[in-house]
Structure 1
């Protein structure tokens, strides 16, 4: 059964059978610009999803012609320092939340993902893009360097490529984004929704407690030096091995049967 939830600007579709939720930015008339209100709604949605046991994977999409054009520039003129701080605080809170929820999040990108929209895609655990999609950080061209998008972008494409995007503001196409590590897969536009769903359902066949452990461990170890990363990872694997689903999965493999997950 598919259940529709959410608000006027954030739609949530939950497929109970696959345990996949699709979260859709629903401001097509504003190119899904990340207004303060929209970011607040997304934060509430992801907080709620993070607590749910019936959702194991999330697909993040955009309604209308583009994924997201970034911050709502209508909110970026003539404001006080407190106003700007609130906007960027909320943006950073959203990005960190997406990586801290236990469910893997797949960005389904079409059209453009620019500035904070590029940051949003780069923040997600996986990205599937259609062939015509473009990714960019054009803030330098309007006098507002993409400093917060830079954090996510640098961590997925590396220093030199990130600096090229940040300093020129010139967008890169989907195949280039895939070559640089920003995108996992590029597919024809008419295959985008189906491929993102297929990928989500492949992930959802695993135990949700195990993918949650793995996602948390990935981000916890990634910036540590190698010795510290191994020291952390071996502790995680030791505790993971004690989980009911680890014992079930190992037993099922040895017995050549399909595992029956309890999500514990």
Structure 2
């Protein structure tokens, strides 16, 4: 699906295309740089909830229409609500639930990034399991420049890049290019613009060639153990490995390896 999408006012704010086990979700507010309005977050949440129950979907790609990936929250929507604490609490709770849903989704999620990914848009990239970016893309948490510290984006950013670099991005509001984002570990690939589509799909197809059950087990285990201390993490991971070894796909994978053939995954 190309970055360009319909610009008409009646166009859906989120597009979904399923093909070959990959669900592609396109943020479709190109005039607003795909800012995360309450409506767009609701549409994305609904899509993720549906995908979580869809065994035909093996991986998800999130991308943006138009000139950029995502410019963060919709500041026009947030503006002019002085004293409306409940509104702001609801918006940021909605965003937090959305980000948690990405990490608890059984399927791996890949961000396909071009243009800019700022504030909550950078948070979205940092939250996705994997990210491939146009080499000309830029990332940042510039809220401090307008008197609004990127506190919720900080949660994802501080878990994706080293502490000192996260603090520099948060405290200065400076943008970083794709090569620097790659060096920091915010993204997995930085590729020429003309290769972004192919590089993203290549990564997605490599992921979905694995056992869907194994991916589900592994993704859940990754996010749980990373918050544990070392001893607790090993105890938990040993239990996960034990459960995984009892799965039919593990038996099939080992047999296929020994017999030098491609495995036939059953997802159980």
**Range into which the TM-score falls when normalised by the shorter chain:** over 0.9
Matches within 5 A, 1:10-29: 10-15=14-19, 18-29=20-31
* C-alpha distance in structure 1 between counterparts of 2:15 and 2:236, whole Å: 37
* C-alpha distance in structure 1 between counterparts of 2:16 and 2:201, whole Å: 14
1:212 maps to 2:203: no
Task: Identify the match of residue 102 of structure 1 among 85, 100, 106.
Answer: 106
Report the Cα offset of residue 76 of structure 1.
1.2
Matches within 5 A, 1:41-80: 41-79=43-81, 80=84
SS in 1 for 2:111: strand
* C-alpha distance in structure 2 between counterparts of 1:12 and 1:211, whole Å: 22
SS in 2 for 1:13: strand
What is residue 148 of structure 1 aligned with on the other side?
152
* C-alpha distance in structure 1 between counterparts of 2:29 and 2:79, whole Å: 20
What is residue 239 of structure 1 aligned with on the other side?
243
Report the Cα offset of residue 242 of structure 1.
0.7
SS in 2 for 1:59: strand
What is residue 195 of structure 1 aligned with on the other side?
199
* C-alpha distance in structure 1 between counterparts of 2:265 and 2:166, whole Å: 41
Report the Cα offset of residue 40 of structure 1.
0.8
* C-alpha distance in structure 2 between counterparts of 1:29 and 1:78, whole Å: 21
**How many residue pairs end up in the alignment?**
256
* C-alpha distance in structure 2 between counterparts of 1:67 and 1:246, whole Å: 37
Report the Cα offset of residue 87 of structure 1.
0.5
The CA deviation string for residues 240-259 of structure 1, in whole angstroms up to 9 with x for no partner, is 11111111111111111111
What is residue 159 of structure 1 aligned with on the other side?
163
* C-alpha distance in structure 1 between counterparts of 2:181 and 2:261, whole Å: 39
What is residue 180 of structure 2 aligned with on the other side?
176
Report the Cα offset of residue 221 of structure 1.
0.2
Report the Cα offset of residue 38 of structure 1.
0.5
Consecutive unaligned residues in structure 1, runs of 5 or more: 1-6
* C-alpha distance in structure 2 between counterparts of 1:35 and 1:25, whole Å: 11
The CA deviation string for residues 62-91 of structure 1, in whole angstroms up to 9 with x for no partner, is 010000000000111222100000110000
What is residue 229 of structure 1 aligned with on the other side?
233
What is residue 126 of structure 2 aligned with on the other side?
122
SS in 2 for 1:75: helix
TM-score w.r.t. structure 2 length? 0.94
* C-alpha distance in structure 2 between counterparts of 1:24 and 1:98, whole Å: 15
CA RMSD in angstroms comes to 0.8
TM-score w.r.t. structure 1 length? 0.96
